[in-house]
């Protein structure tokens, strides 16, 4: 745990949040600044700064993040309409919180390419 990391504090329960999913490795909660009717963040409990700093040792949890995203999408009822999963990495990727997270966005058509 990185005591200065907001997502570590959420994952540990130090900052209260409503989890849409929690298990030993992963938690999911709503984005503070939603960009779609459904906007969920899925994060590892472990403090991993970004996708760029993940290692082969994180292969299982990386897969788990995506499986949990698909399970939540199913529960939210957006599997058929579709949704987007995004991992922003580093400055050009638009990453603003330096704890690896997958965005799950759904509930409206999403433009491509992104800005």
Which residues contact ligand DGP by CB under 6 A? 6, 29-33, 41, 88, 94-97
Q: How far is the CB of 97 from ligand DGP (least distance, A)?
A: 4
- Find the DSSP H helices in the chain: 6-12, 59-76, 90-93
Between 65 and 80, whose beta carbon lies closer to ligand DGP?
Answer: 65
Q: How far is the CB of 84 from ligand DGP (least distance, A)?
A: 13
Q: How far is the CB of 80 from ligand DGP (least distance, A)?
A: 25
CA dist., res. 89 & res. 61, Å (int) = 17
Does the annotation mark 101 as catalytic? yes
Catalytic sites, residue numbers: 101
């Amino acid at each position: 745990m990185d005591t200065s990391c907001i997502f570590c504090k959420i994952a540990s329960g130090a900052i209260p949040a409503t989890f849409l999913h929690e298990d030993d490795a992963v938690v999911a909660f709503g984005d503070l600044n939603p960009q779609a009717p459904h906007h969920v963040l899925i994060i590892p409990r472990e403090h991993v700064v970004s996708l760029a700093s993940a290692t082969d040792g994180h292969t299982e949890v990386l897969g788990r993040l995506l499986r949990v995203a698909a399970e939540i999408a199913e529960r939210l009822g957006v599997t058929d309409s579709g949704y987007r999963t995004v991992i922003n990495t580093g400055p050009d990727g638009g990453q603003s919180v330096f704890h690896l997270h997958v965005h799950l966005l759904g509930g409206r058509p999403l433009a491509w390419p992104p800005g």
